[in-house]
């Protein structure tokens, strides 16, 4: 399994797309912190870019990579290897490669210009989002046999998590604005790993002060150690659930 993981990581890191992804993140990160004198403003400017690019590249690249590796996977299945080990090796290779690319592109710049608790949380959220959307991509690719439909589904999932989910939340806020639903908003944030990452970072920049009572509720929950642990557990759940379902599906799939 270790040899397989090393081969997958080496194969992905040599990919032109992965190299371009790393370079783009590096250029954007350096540009943002060069323009902004205040590290907090630099993190805020970089936040939306990372929350847009990282999930998009992670889910689309992972989906395409799995489909392009179909023949390689079939070859591995014909060997005396457990299907579970093969699938987890593919996931580990993707997760490690995407995390390394993010760290090389944005993480190093964050460490140089804005190393603080806020910077550490942004770095951690970027890595976790890379892994989360790799797991979601693997679930989409194993459930849908057709490559075009699988890639289309991956794009739709990214659109839902990055844009449509926020639209639904705003609709609920307007519909129930007369009711105390602030605590319910915390539960809703658990349903979207992108929103959860955004909340964790924004609260560290004290933007919550501009959010009134809602911001105070988020601050009281996510600002505590228990809240941070729960948020981390939710992010890990976003990794574990899609990965577990895709592994079961792959074990029973007729290749």
* Least confident residue range of 79-93, 110-124, 173-187: 173-187
User: Mean pLDDT throughout 106-113?
Assistant: 85
Q: Band of the pLDDT at 213, cuts 50, 70, 90?
A: very low
CA-CA distance, 235 to 240, in Å (whole number)?
Answer: 9
Per-residue model confidence (pLDDT) at position 177: 63
* Closest to 185 measured CA to CA, from 203, 204, 201, 172: 172
**Cβ-count burial 9-38 (b if 16+ within 10 Å, e if not):** beebbeeeebeebbeebbebbbebbeebee
Q: Report how far residue 135's alpha carbon sits from residue 142's, in angstroms, rounded to the nearest whole number.
A: 11
Instruction: Spell 109-120 as b/e; 16+ CB within 10 A means b.
Output: bbeebbeeebbe
Q: Tell me the C-alpha distance between 13 and 143, whole Å.
A: 26
pLDDT at 254: 67
Residue 47 is predicted with a pLDDT of 83
CA distance 119 to 177: 33
- pLDDT at 216 exceeding the cut of 90: no
Domain count for the chain: 1
130-173 residue pLDDT tens: 999 999 999 999 988 888 899 999 999 999 998 888 788 777 76
Task: Tell me the residue range of the domain where 177 lies.
Answer: 2-252
| Average pLDDT of span 172-194 | 73
Q: Of 231, 182, 29, 31, which is closest to residue 119 (Cα–Cα)? A: 29
Region of poorest pLDDT, from 44-53, 187-196, 214-223: 214-223
Phi and psi at 191, nearest 5°, equal -85, 0
Q: Which two tokens stand for residue 215?
A: 């911001």
Handedness of CA 174, 180, 182, 185 (dihedral sign): negative
Tokens of 131: 């892994």
Q: What is the dihedral of CA 98, 103, 106, 44, to 10 degrees?
A: 90
Q: What is the pLDDT of residue 165?
A: 83
85's CB contacts (< 8 A; 6+ apart) are: 1, 4
- Tens-place pLDDT, residues 48-99: 888 889 999 999 999 999 999 888 888 888 888 888 888 999 999 999 999 9
Query: For the CA atoms of 77, 79, 85, 87, what is the dihedral angle to 10 degrees?
Result: -20
CA dihedral 182, 190, 167, 40 (to 10 degrees): 80
Instruction: Give the whole-angstrom CA distance, residue 33 versus residue 44.
Output: 10
The DSSP output letter for 205 is: T
Nearest by Cα to 98 from 64, 47, 140: 64
Residues 6+ apart with CB under 8 A from 155: 59, 60
181 pLDDT band, cuts 50/70/90, is: low
SS3 state of residue 192:
coil
């Amino acid at each position: 399994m270790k040899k397989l993981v090393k081969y997958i990581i080496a194969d992905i890191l040599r990919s032109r797309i992965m190299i371009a992804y790393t370079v783009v993140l590096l250029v954007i990160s350096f540009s943002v912190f060069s323009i902004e004198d205040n590290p907090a403003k630099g993190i805020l400017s970089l936040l939306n870019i990372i929350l847009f690019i990282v999930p998009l590249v992670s889910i689309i690249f992972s989906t395409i990579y799995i489909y392009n590796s179909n023949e390689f996977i079939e070859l591995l299945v014909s060997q005396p290897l457990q299907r579970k080990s093969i699938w987890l090796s593919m996931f580990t290779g993707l997760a490690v490669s995407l995390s390394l690319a993010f760290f090389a592109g944005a993480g190093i710049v964050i460490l140089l210009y804005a190393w603080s608790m806020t910077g550490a949380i942004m770095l951690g959220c970027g890595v976790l989002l890379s892994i989360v959307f790799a797991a979601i991509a693997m679930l989409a690719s194993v459930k849908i046999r057709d490559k075009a439909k699988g890639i289309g589904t991956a794009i739709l999932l990214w659109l839902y998590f990055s844009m449509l989910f926020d639209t639904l939340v705003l609709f609920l806020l307007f519909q129930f604005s007369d009711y105390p639903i602030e605590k319910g908003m915390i539960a809703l944030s658990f349903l979207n790993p992108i929103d959860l990452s955004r909340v964790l970072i924004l609260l560290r920049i004290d933007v919550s002060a501009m959010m009134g009572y809602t911001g105070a509720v988020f601050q009281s929950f996510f600002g505590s150690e228990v809240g941070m642990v729960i948020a981390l557990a939710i992010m890990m759940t976003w990794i574990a659930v899609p990965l577990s379902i895709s592994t079961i599906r792959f074990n029973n799939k007729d290749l």
